[in-house]
């Protein structure tokens, strides 16, 4: 296990290096003088010169990169031009909101995705199976920003049941918090539920054909005991690890969902930064998401090894 973790950590180093190169290169995609573009409305030559000095834009590219990586490694991701605040502290402020939203979305995705996947596999080739497959196709094909708008139209505009937008922290008023988060969480969880459903169905179908399931049935065990205690437990291993890889979908989805429902999280931070040409924030958000994504992939791989004794070697 330790050898595996060590090997995976070593593999992460070149990947992280290329991630940092890609993110660093972004600012050089800016048309014209990056210092001038980054200054935005600010036309004061002294301010532009300060930006050039701060980002070492007057130095050769490799030197600029080394300065940028050194600063990033010490937690300095630059400063927001608009909010005049360090990028890292901005991200850390917004992160709890996105984590709350993402956690609720994962719960919704697990309940719908696992439920539909199990029913679909157990009732293979019945109307339930077809319905679950239609749901999966619908979930994968529906743009979540359209689903969000349609839910606002139905539940806020027409029925008046839920607030159309906003965010209330759980600690402040849990009822209001749930009311504001249920629609964004459903929108975010919907696409992942569809993917989880497909994984669960295929894993369950594979497991249900195994000899030990036939043995369990031959012993006279109740069907629900065969499905939940014997089949599901074994089918869940690949589902959970594959599900963890959907973290990227979750983060991408959060950008749009937070924008539609005006949830002040991580996703809204990057969109606002794009519109305000706050490039350091854009770079910071991409760097943090990529690092988080790689860490989660590593944890998913480790979990897979932990729960699958045959791979421990």
Site size for other proteins (CB under 8 A)? 51
Q: How far is the CB of 11 from other proteins (least distance, A)?
A: 8
- Measured CA distances, 64 to 57, 67, 71, 118, 278 (Å): 7, 5, 11, 53, 19
Asked if 202 touches other proteins (CB under 8 A), the answer is: no
| Longest distance between any two alpha carbons in the chain, whole Å | 84
**Closest CB to other proteins among residues 153, 161:** 153
Asked if 166 touches other proteins (CB under 8 A), the answer is: no
Show the site string, 11-30: x = touches other proteins by CB under 8 A, - = not.
---xxxxxx-xxx--xx-xx
Asked if 142 touches other proteins (CB under 8 A), the answer is: yes
- Measured CA distances, 312 to 3, 5, 111 (Å): 10, 11, 30
* Contacts to other proteins from residues 221-280, by CB under 8 A: 247-249, 251-253, 255-256, 259-260, 270-271, 274-275, 279
Asked if 193 touches other proteins (CB under 8 A), the answer is: no
- Measured CA distances, 257 to 109, 181, 210, 272 (Å): 15, 11, 41, 14
What are 239's two structure tokens? 């589902």
SS3 helix, strand, coil % of the chain, rounded to 5? 80, 0, 20
DSSP states along 33-64: -HHHHHHTT---HHHHHHHHHHTTTTS-HHHH
**Closest CB to other proteins among residues 197, 290:** 290
Q: How far is the CB of 90 from other proteins (least distance, A)?
A: 16
Among 41, 141, 211, 309, binds other proteins (CB under 8 A): 141
Contact between residue 302 and residue 5 where contact means Cβ atoms under 8 Å apart:
yes
**Tokens 């992160």 belong to which residue?**
95
Q: How far is the CB of 133 from other proteins (least distance, A)?
A: 10
**Closest CB to other proteins among residues 84, 158:** 158
**Closest CB to other proteins among residues 99, 222:** 99
* Contacts to other proteins from residues 118-137, by CB under 8 A: 137
- Rounded Cα distance between 144 and 140, Å, is 9
Q: How far is the CB of 7 from other proteins (least distance, A)?
A: 14
What are 146's two structure tokens? 């359209």
Coil, strand or helix: which one is 138?
helix
Query: What is the contact surface with other proteins in residues (CB under 8 A)?
Result: 14-19, 21-23, 26-27, 29-31, 137-138, 140-143, 145-146, 149-150, 152-153, 157, 247-249, 251-253, 255-256, 259-260, 270-271, 274-275, 279, 282-283, 285-286, 289-290, 293-294, 297
């Amino acid at each position: 296990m330790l050898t595996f973790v060590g090997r995976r950590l070593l593999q992460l180093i070149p990947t992280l290096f290329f991630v940092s190169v890609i993110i660093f290169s972004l600012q050089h995609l800016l048309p014209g003088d990056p210092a001038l573009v980054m200054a935005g409305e600010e036309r004061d030559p002294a301010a532009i010169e300060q930006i050039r000095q701060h980002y070492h834009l007057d130095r050769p590219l490799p030197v600029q990169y080394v300065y940028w990586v050194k600063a990033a490694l010490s937690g300095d991701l630059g400063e927001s031009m608009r909010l005049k605040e360090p990028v890292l502290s901005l991200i850390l402020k917004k992160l709890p909101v996105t984590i709350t939203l993402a956690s609720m979305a994962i719960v919704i995705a697990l309940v719908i995705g696992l439920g539909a996947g199990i029913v679909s596999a157990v009732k293979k080739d019945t109307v339930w199976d077809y319905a679950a497959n239609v749901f999966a196709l619908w979930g994968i094909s529906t743009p979540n920003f359209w689903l969000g708008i349609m839910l606002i139209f139905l539940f806020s505009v027409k029925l008046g049941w839920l607030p159309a937008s906003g965010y209330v922290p759980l600690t402040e008023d849990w009822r209001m918090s749930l009311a504001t988060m249920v629609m964004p969480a459903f929108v975010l969880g919907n696409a992942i539920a569809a993917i989880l459903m497909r994984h669960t169905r295929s894993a369950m179908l594979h497991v249900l054909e195994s000899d030990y399931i036939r043995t369990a049935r031959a012993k006279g065990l109740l069907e629900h005991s065969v499905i939940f205690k014997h089949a599901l437990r074994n089918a869940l291993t690949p589902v959970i690890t594959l599900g963890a890889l959907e973290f990227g979908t979750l983060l991408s989805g959060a950008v749009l969902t937070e924008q539609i429902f005006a949830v002040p999280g991580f996703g809204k931070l990057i969109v606002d930064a794009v519109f305000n040409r706050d490039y350091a924030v854009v770079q910071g958000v991409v760097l943090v998401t990529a690092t988080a994504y790689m860490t989660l992939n590593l944890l998913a791989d480790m979990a897979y090894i932990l729960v699958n004794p045959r791979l421990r070697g």
